[in-house]
A and B are shown apart, each in its own frame.
Chain A
Amino acid sequence: MRVPLSWLRDYVDVELTPEQLAERLTLLGMEVQKIERWGADWKDVVVGELLAVERHPHADRLFLTRVTVGAGEPLDIVCGATNIAPGQRVPVALPGAVLPGGRRIERTEKMGVTSNGMLCSGDELRLTADADEILILSDTAPLGAELISLYGDIVLDVDVKPNRGDALSLVGLAREVAAATGAQIRWPETDPVEGGDDIEQRLAVTVEAPDLCPRFVARRLSGVRVGASPDLVQMRLLAAGMRPVSNVVDASNYVMLELGKPIHTFDAAAIAAGTDGRATIVVRRARQDEPLETLDHVRRTLDRETLVIADPERALGIAGIMGGADSEVSETTTDVVVESAIFDPVAIRRTGQRYALRSEASLRFEKGHEVRLARIGADRCARLVAEWAGGDVARGRVDSDSVEPAPSTVTFRPDRVNRLLGTSLSVDEQRALLARVGLESEAAEPDDRVTVALEPQPVVVEPAPGTAITALVPTWRRDIVIEADVAEEVARVRGYDVVPSVLPHTPMPGWRPSPLEVRDAVREMLIGAGLSEVITFALVSPRLHDAFGLRAPVPSVGGEPPPGGDRIEVTNPLSRDHSILRQGLLGSLADVVGTNRRQGRADVAIFEVGKGYGREGDRTREWWRLGVALTGAAEPAAWNRAGRPWDVDDAKGLLELLCRRLGFGEPAYAAERDEPVLHPGRSLRASATGDGGAPTLEAVVGELHPDVVGAWELRAERVVVAEVAVAGLGGGQLTAVRASPPSRHPAVERDLAVVVADDQPAASVVDVIRASGGDLLHSATLFDIYRGAPLADDEKSLAHRLVFAADRTLTEAEIDAAIEGITAAVATELGGRLRA
């Protein structure tokens, strides 16, 4: 809400600087987001007086004026406006002046005559909406005075919260200022001077939908002269952010800003008569597909949910949202009907959303306002129209329901207020604070009850005798209903600095495992291994989702929900690029690789711990995954060593490190040839299990398919990626290590080269060695692969280092026996042999 200070001062005295006022309002919960100097964009614009106005010698439409600005020689200024005459005081932009929008005024020549500046219109100064005529200033405006000293203003931009619709008005904010400073409110005069006919003779109102329109008040004026509003009104409306339209329309907007009551005005001639001959307004639901051209000249087709203001023949406007073009007040209007109604806030909100129409008026209707404002708003608007546009205000109002609800009460326990706030404010002090915002209070009656909560079940308690206070809530404070509302009001008016700063001394909750424990261990490990963490969007494009989706998703482990199911789509996405909830991390990470490669970054080693999302019907599920992407150099070349690119073995190494860190078994690998996004010859599935044999890690690892690298412009020769399910990533604990003392007996190493068929997976060979090595075999590690003479072309030799150990000294014979067992198994299970 934009609040011009000069206007606010109509209703309350302010003896603070704008900065002080802003701070006080902010500390009262009415946050001032900006202090704007209205007129700060005028430079060298001063008050001048017209000495002479003559026809321009060479141009029919121009005038040559002579203007004094007090000091110095009078100025000759060329002007195109027709509303000027000698003796008028006008704004003069001197040569070198700057106007709003940065427009500079210089000495110029116009049709052979030098013009020493410019006379300004209201529009050129952004003071009024009038662009054709020169702004005529008051006769008392001091000659030569800078215009900003007369017409400059301060505009506060106040962030009024949705629960305080009452403060979306100058009077409402004046009340807040009064609460802060102790000043008194000046309520504007609202009663119009009535004359002429009784309104009942000229206008009838039928509310057919009282559920959507609890109250409808109308006033009528006749003999109105529609024209421009007084300059001051235009200045105020503009400063408050509304464009002046005409004196009648401006009056309705003025009342909306002043009182917070949206008003609509009709051309009375456009309202058709009913059977009794009187112009008749009908408030009803629209007929299906009923047509209406709204004020913005859009032809709309209404639906039955929409409340309309109609006459007996047709809809005249959408209630609370926008009037109709046909009944708009125009220059030819002489009789005006003022509508001041209460509409159902929810219906207004829904209607506004359905037609995508939101306005200052509908915003206020949505928040709701006190019922009596319907009457007061109609009166005030009629008064202002008569003041600014002349005409007679018909006697009385048409009012569909003139019963105005009495103020409600709220009962509270000052002790509970203190218990909520952690304060020790006395009962009297609390009552005095409430009185500053209009809540008069007294000791509660015996049957008064404290409302702790209204929903979902009412919690209403009987206070101990003598402990409660009952306050009368002003009708405009519809937000004060329960005891906690009173607590906020007490704290707010007193200032939140009344709340002390103490540390909690209430009982601690019991221990609970952190869901972050495993995730943090994984992150820490990968960062130590040289990978940087990234965070990418969970919402991805359909293209990325489809391109990087796995045929066989990485299965979940550790009791996490299974991956996959149908994808979840956003129904109102900001863009297609962010419209699908991802089901894996590979695409997002590839995207980051591409971003960095295109920036000229050679080496990219990244990971993300993030979620996948899916649905089964209306059941949604989310699962955690680790994603890895590696490209460029694993070890960069330096002056003292050659570089080495990232490859799939690095990714496997990371998985093995991960398994060691988390206490999982060593991962087993199997070739993966059927994922379209991956290189068919350089991809694999990895899986590991925990102590009990349950799966603890599942992964797909591989190089991105060259087609994918090309299609996504990753500008990398090879990109190694992995998507990993890790037990505990979504919440779990690190398992404790069961330690054993190191053996005091030396281990024995033997190297064993096994010759097998070239297509025999290395993993199967080491599996056979381990399975057949007996209890003494402590470890078997592949350390060399050899192909070539004297082996056959379709053979390879896999050299393993075997370590035998036991809690005693081993004999050669024992080890020989173990090797013999391995040799036999290699022969029978793999068709292999030892290399001589």
Chain B
Amino acid sequence: MDLAGLTEDLHALRDEAIAAARAAASTGDLEQLEVDLLGKKGRLTVVLRGIGSLPAEDRPRVGAIANEVQTAMRSALADAASSLRSRELADRLAAEAVDVTTPGRSIRRGTYHPIVETADRITRIFEQFGFVVYEGPEVEDDLTNFRMLNIPQDHPARDLWDTLYVDVENHLLRTHTSPGQIRVMQSTRPPIRALLPGRCFRYEAVDASHASEFFQVEGLMVDEGTTLADLKGLLDQFAQAMYGRGQRTRFRPGYYPFTEPSVAFDVECLVCGGSGCPACSRTGWMTILGAGMVHPVVLQYGGIDPERYQGFAFGMGVERIANLRHAVTDLRLYMENDLRFLEQFR
């Protein structure tokens, strides 16, 4: 083979290779083509074997041409591979398309019970003001539930608490969280800021507004200079935290044997905003809790000197707070546990 012939073969191979690269249908074909052309036993190698039959002076030229051809072929292969990859990727993406408007795969999350959630919320609000949480027993002794709270046996005030009694001597199901006041005072010294959430029981026929089992949160603050004004300030903060900034409130006289003075704490009607409606008995106000200055009898039973110390206590029904917050009008819903009701409380 002479120089011209070999050069021609190389150029022919180059042209064929470029055409083949352009025609390749897949990256796989292209890889095969590369092996066929440029591999150890590839056609370029085969062509270059003819270099041995050339005169020595021609060989460098052929070498140079062969390099050019090889470069051109590699470039063509690379170009073809690049465009093939782009096309294949486009094909894949097109093939992978889904209907993105189908609904998402549902991820289940449960819901907090509205009563526990409300009690939690109440607790968090008062924790901001330095109140710490205590808990007392639900099967309470008569003494702590009544006598130590200044409610003597056979006192007409007992009519305020219809009581469920149990077959354990001198025990009953606590009718309120207030006995917790005694337990806190007996277990710690002032300054006291205590919060007592928990379940309570009453002998009460169940209807939309009465429950035999319900939840209360009791608060107690005792120190040398704790005043009714402190109570009002704190409850004002609470009303805003629970029902929104600017919530108007009112103190009026109430009656509890274990506080003196006693207070009923009203918020401006959350339904009508104070103009008067059936929800607030047309008074414009709704009572949300009872409170007052701890009665000296109670302080003494708690082991606290009523001359040196004074304090306030408040107690609220969690259901009442939740009703007003969530526009619930039937207490029975809370204990029925119909998930269609509960799952609304996201």
Q: Which residues of A contact B (CB under 8 A)?
A: 22-23, 26-29, 31, 33-35, 161-165, 345-346, 349-350, 363, 366-367, 419-423, 452-457, 459, 461, 482, 484-485, 487-488, 491-492, 496-497, 499-504, 506-509, 511-512, 514-516, 520, 523, 526-539, 568-574, 578, 581, 592, 595-596, 599, 601, 604-607, 611, 613, 615, 618, 620, 622, 636, 638-641, 730-731
Give Cα distance in the complex from A419 to B225, angstroms.
Answer: 7
Other contacts beyond A516-B120, A581-B139: 20, CB < 8 A: A162-B255, A421-B227, A459-B300, A484-B260, A487-B293, A496-B253, A500-B229, A502-B230, A504-B129, A507-B223, A509-B188, A511-B132, A532-B111, A533-B110, A570-B165, A595-B336, A599-B340, A605-B110, A618-B169, A622-B138
Measured between beta carbons, the chain A residues less than 8 angstroms from B293 are: 420, 484, 487
Interface bin, chain B = 35 or more
Give Cα distance in the complex from A607 to B156, angstroms.
Answer: 41
Are A570 and B168 touching (Cβ within 8 A)? Answer: no
Are B109 and A488 touching (Cβ within 8 A)? Answer: no
Choose from A484, A502, A536 the contact partner of B229 (Cβ within 8 Å): A502
B78 within 8 A of A: no
Choose from A350, A457, A506, A509 the contact partner of B154 (Cβ within 8 Å): A350
Measured between beta carbons, the chain A residues less than 8 angstroms from B109 are: 527-528, 530
Q: List 30 A-B contacts (CB under 8 A).
A: A29-B252, A34-B281, A161-B254, A163-B157, A350-B154, A420-B227, A422-B227, A423-B229, A452-B307, A456-B297, A485-B260, A496-B251, A499-B228, A506-B225, A506-B230, A509-B191, A512-B134, A514-B127, A523-B112, A523-B116, A533-B111, A533-B112, A534-B337, A537-B212, A568-B166, A572-B164, A596-B337, A605-B108, A640-B102, A641-B105
**Among residues 65 to 110 in chain B, which have CB atoms less than 8 Å away from a CB atom of chain A?**
102-103, 105-106, 108-110
B103 to chain A, nearest CB (A): 8
Counting residue pairs across A and B whose Cβ atoms lie within 8 Å, the total is 287
Are B191 and A508 touching (Cβ within 8 A)? Answer: yes
Known contacts A488-B261, A509-B132, A596-B338: A163-B255 contact under CB 8 Å: yes
Are B281 and A33 touching (Cβ within 8 A)? Answer: yes
B135 within 8 A of A: yes
B236 within 8 A of A: yes
Give Cα distance in the complex from A349 to B201, angstroms.
Answer: 23
Choose from B160, B168, B252, B305 the contact partner of A615 (Cβ within 8 Å): B168
Are B112 and A496 touching (Cβ within 8 A)? Answer: no
Give Cα distance in the complex from A596 to B237, angstroms.
Answer: 39
B173 within 8 A of A: yes
Measured between beta carbons, the chain B residues less than 8 angstroms from A34 are: 281
Are A484 and B110 touching (Cβ within 8 A)? Answer: no
B130 within 8 A of A: yes
Give Cα distance in the complex from A215 to B201, angstroms.
Answer: 40
Choose from A530, A570, A615, A641 the contact partner of B108 (Cβ within 8 Å): A530
The interface centre, meaning the residue of B192, B193, B236 with most chain A CB atoms within 10 A of its CB, is B193
B67 to chain A, nearest CB (A): 45
Q: Which residue of B lies closest to A600 (CB)?
A: B340
Measured between beta carbons, the chain A residues less than 8 angstroms from B103 are: 638-639
Give Cα distance in the complex from A510 to B150, angstroms.
Answer: 29
Choose from B213, B230, B236, B261 the contact partner of A538 (Cβ within 8 Å): B213
Are A503 and B233 touching (Cβ within 8 A)? Answer: yes
B159 within 8 A of A: yes
Known contacts A537-B335, A574-B203: A530-B110 contact under CB 8 Å: yes
Measured between beta carbons, the chain B residues less than 8 angstroms from A527 are: 109-112
Are A455 and B297 touching (Cβ within 8 A)? Answer: yes
Measured between beta carbons, the chain A residues less than 8 angstroms from B301 are: 456
B123 within 8 A of A: yes
B44 within 8 A of A: no
Are A611 and B138 touching (Cβ within 8 A)? Answer: yes
B276 to chain A, nearest CB (A): 9
Q: Which residue of A lies closest to B165 (CB)?
A: A571
B24 within 8 A of A: no
Are A514 and B213 touching (Cβ within 8 A)? Answer: no
Measured between beta carbons, the chain A residues less than 8 angstroms from B204 are: 574
**Among residues 166 to 191 in chain B, which have CB atoms less than 8 Å away from a CB atom of chain A?**
166-171, 173, 188, 191
B234 within 8 A of A: yes
Are A501 and B229 touching (Cβ within 8 A)? Answer: yes
**Among residues 274 to 310 in chain B, which have CB atoms less than 8 Å away from a CB atom of chain A?**
281-283, 293, 295-297, 299-301, 305-307, 310
Are B260 and A487 touching (Cβ within 8 A)? Answer: yes
Are B232 and A499 touching (Cβ within 8 A)? Answer: yes
Are B296 and A421 touching (Cβ within 8 A)? Answer: no
Measured between beta carbons, the chain A residues less than 8 angstroms from B338 are: 595-596, 599
Are B253 and A491 touching (Cβ within 8 A)? Answer: yes
Measured between beta carbons, the chain A residues less than 8 angstroms from B132 are: 509, 511-512, 514
Known contacts A503-B234, A506-B225, A532-B339: A639-B102 contact under CB 8 Å: yes
Give Cα distance in the complex from A536 to B338, angstroms.
Answer: 11
Known contacts A29-B253, A163-B255, A508-B191: A482-B113 contact under CB 8 Å: no
Measured between beta carbons, the chain B residues less than 8 angstroms from A533 are: 110-113, 116, 342
Are A504 and B230 touching (Cβ within 8 A)? Answer: yes
Measured between beta carbons, the chain B residues less than 8 angstroms from A532 are: 110-111, 113, 339, 342-343
Choose from A459, A506, A508, A535 the contact partner of B226 (Cβ within 8 Å): A506
Known contacts A420-B261, A488-B261: A622-B139 contact under CB 8 Å: yes
Choose from A459, A536, A578, A640 the contact partner of B337 (Cβ within 8 Å): A536
Give Cα distance in the complex from A542 to B108, angstroms.
Answer: 35
Are A501 and B261 touching (Cβ within 8 A)? Answer: no
Measured between beta carbons, the chain B residues less than 8 angstroms from A28 are: 253
Give Cα distance in the complex from A276 to B268, angstroms.
Answer: 69
Measured between beta carbons, the chain A residues less than 8 angstroms from B251 are: 496-497, 499
Are A570 and B191 touching (Cβ within 8 A)? Answer: no
Are B261 and A570 touching (Cβ within 8 A)? Answer: no
Are B164 and A573 touching (Cβ within 8 A)? Answer: yes
B163 to chain A, nearest CB (A): 8
A365 to chain B, nearest CB (A): 10
Measured between beta carbons, the chain A residues less than 8 angstroms from B226 are: 504, 506
Choose from A492, A497, A515, A538 the contact partner of B138 (Cβ within 8 Å): A538
B137 within 8 A of A: yes
Measured between beta carbons, the chain B residues less than 8 angstroms from A515 are: 133-135
Are A572 and B261 touching (Cβ within 8 A)? Answer: no
Are B159 and A162 touching (Cβ within 8 A)? Answer: yes
A760 to chain B, nearest CB (A): 35
Choose from B170, B191, B342 the contact partner of A506 (Cβ within 8 Å): B191
B2 within 8 A of A: no
Measured between beta carbons, the chain A residues less than 8 angstroms from B110 are: 526-533, 605-607
Q: Which residue of A lies closest to B112 (CB)?
A: A533
Q: Which residue of A lies closest to B266 (CB)?
A: A26
Q: Which residue of A lies closest to B198 (CB)?
A: A611
Are A569 and B167 touching (Cβ within 8 A)? Answer: yes
Q: Which residue of A lies closest to B296 (CB)?
A: A453
Q: Which residue of B lies closest to A601 (CB)?
A: B339
Choose from B106, B169, B221, B229 the contact partner of A421 (Cβ within 8 Å): B229
Give Cα distance in the complex from A578 to B199, angstroms.
Answer: 15
Are B228 and A420 touching (Cβ within 8 A)? Answer: yes
A526 to chain B, nearest CB (A): 6
B307 to chain A, nearest CB (A): 5
0/1 interface trace, chain B 191-226, chain A, CB 8 Å (1 if under): 111100001010111100000110000000101111
B263 within 8 A of A: yes
Are A507 and B283 touching (Cβ within 8 A)? Answer: no
A614 to chain B, nearest CB (A): 9
Are A569 and B166 touching (Cβ within 8 A)? Answer: yes
Give Cα distance in the complex from A621 to B1, angstroms.
Answer: 110
Measured between beta carbons, the chain A residues less than 8 angstroms from B254 are: 29, 161
Measured between beta carbons, the chain A residues less than 8 angstroms from B155 are: 162
Are B224 and A459 touching (Cβ within 8 A)? Answer: no
B115 within 8 A of A: yes
Are A162 and B156 touching (Cβ within 8 A)? Answer: yes
A349 to chain B, nearest CB (A): 5
Known contacts A345-B156, A504-B221, A509-B192: A618-B252 contact under CB 8 Å: no
Q: Which residue of B lies closest to A28 (CB)?
A: B253
B54 to chain A, nearest CB (A): 56
